[in-house]
Structure 1
Amino acid sequence: MTYIVMVLLGAILYGTMSSFVKLSYSRGYNAAEISFTQAALAALLLGICAFVTRKNNTAPRTRKVLLSLLLTGSLIGLTNFLYYQSVNYSSASLSIVILMQFTWFSLLLEWLIFKKRPSRIELVTVIFILLGTVIAGDIFSGPKYSFSLKGIVLALLSSLTYASYIVANGRADNGGRWQSKSTLIMVGSACTIFLINSKTILWDNHFDGVFLLWAMFFAVVGTTIPTALFAAGIPKIGAGVSAILMTVELPVAVLCAGLVLNERVSLLQAIGIVIMLAAISTMNYYKLKPEKQK
Structure 2
Amino acid sequence: MKYKLSVLLGAVCYGVLSTIVTMAYGKGFMLGEIVGSQLTVGFVLAWSLVVLTKWKERRSKERSGLASAAAAAAPAAPKSEWRQRMILMAAGVPSVVTGLLYYESLKFIPNSLAILLLFQFTWMGVLIHTIGQRRRPSGIVLFTLFVLLGGTLLAAGILDQGLAKFNWIGVIFGLASAISYTLFMLLSGKAVPSMHPTYRSAWMITGGMLFVFVLFPPVFLFNGALLEGLLPFGLMLGLFGAFLPPVLYAIGVPHIGEGLTGILGAAELPVAVLLSAVVLHEHISALQWIGVSIVLLGVALPELFKRRGDSVPTISKTRHSRK
Same fold (TM over 0.5): yes
Counterpart of 1:178 in structure 2 is 197
Alignment of 1:87-98 (within 5 A): 87-98=106-117
| Alignment of 1:62 onto 2:48 | no
- Look up the equivalent residue of 1:251 and give its one-letter code: P
CA distance in 2, matches of 1:110, 1:90: 30
Question: Among the aligned pairs, what percent are the same residue?
Answer: 30
SS in 1 for 2:217: helix
Alignment of 1:146-157 (within 5 A): 146-157=165-176
| Alignment of 1:73 onto 2:95 | no
Displacement of 1:108:
3.0
- Look up the equivalent residue of 2:90 and give its one-letter code: L
1:68-104 CA-to-partner distances (Å, cap 9, x unmatched) read 3122210110111111111111100000011100112
- From 300, 304, 316, the equivalent of 1:281 is 300
Counterpart of 2:274 in structure 1 is 255
CA distance in 2, matches of 1:96, 1:105: 15
**Which structure 1 residue ranges, 5 or more long, are not aligned?**
none
CA distance in 2, matches of 1:154, 1:110: 23
- Cα 1:235–1:195, aligned 2, differ >3 Å: closer, same or farther? same
SS in 2 for 1:145: coil
- Cα 1:109–1:194, aligned 2, differ >3 Å: closer, same or farther? farther
Q: Which has the higher helix share?
A: 1
CA distance in 2, matches of 1:126, 1:269: 18
Alignment of 1:1-294 (within 5 A): 1-54=1-54, 55=57, 62-113=81-132, 115=134, 118-139=137-158, 141-142=160-161, 145-198=164-217, 206-208=225-227, 210-287=229-306
Provide TM-score, normalisation by structure 1: 0.90
- Look up the equivalent residue of 1:184 and give its one-letter code: W
Contact 1:91–1:263 (CA<8 Å) still a contact in 2? yes
CA distance in 1, matches of 2:4, 2:200: 22
Displacement of 1:146:
0.7
CA distance in 2, matches of 1:122, 1:66: 37
Of stretches 119-128 and 27-36 in structure 1, the one that deviates more from structure 2 is 119-128
- Cα 1:82–1:202, aligned 2, differ >3 Å: closer, same or farther? farther
SS in 2 for 1:198: coil
Larger Rg: 2
1:231-273 CA-to-partner distances (Å, cap 9, x unmatched) read 1011111111111101111111100111110011101111111
Contact 2:197–2:250 (CA<8 Å) still a contact in 1? yes
- Look up the equivalent residue of 1:216 and give its one-letter code: L
- Look up the equivalent residue of 1:271 and give its one-letter code: I
Contact 2:20–2:233 (CA<8 Å) still a contact in 1? no
SS in 2 for 1:53: helix
Provide TM-score, normalisation by structure 2: 0.82
Displacement of 1:224:
1.1
CA distance in 2, matches of 1:67, 1:40: 19
Contact 1:70–1:187 (CA<8 Å) still a contact in 2? yes
1:34-85 CA-to-partner distances (Å, cap 9, x unmatched) read 1122122212211111122124699965344323312221011011111111
Contact 2:7–2:264 (CA<8 Å) still a contact in 1? yes
Contact 1:109–1:164 (CA<8 Å) still a contact in 2? no
CA distance in 1, matches of 2:131, 2:221: 39
What is the number of equivalent residue pairs in this alignment?
Answer: 292
Displacement of 1:213:
2.0
Contact 2:85–2:203 (CA<8 Å) still a contact in 1? yes
CA distance in 2, matches of 1:288, 1:117: 22
**Which structure 2 residue ranges, 5 or more long, are not aligned?**
62-73, 312-323
Displacement of 1:114:
6.2
SS in 1 for 2:264: helix
Displacement of 1:220:
0.9
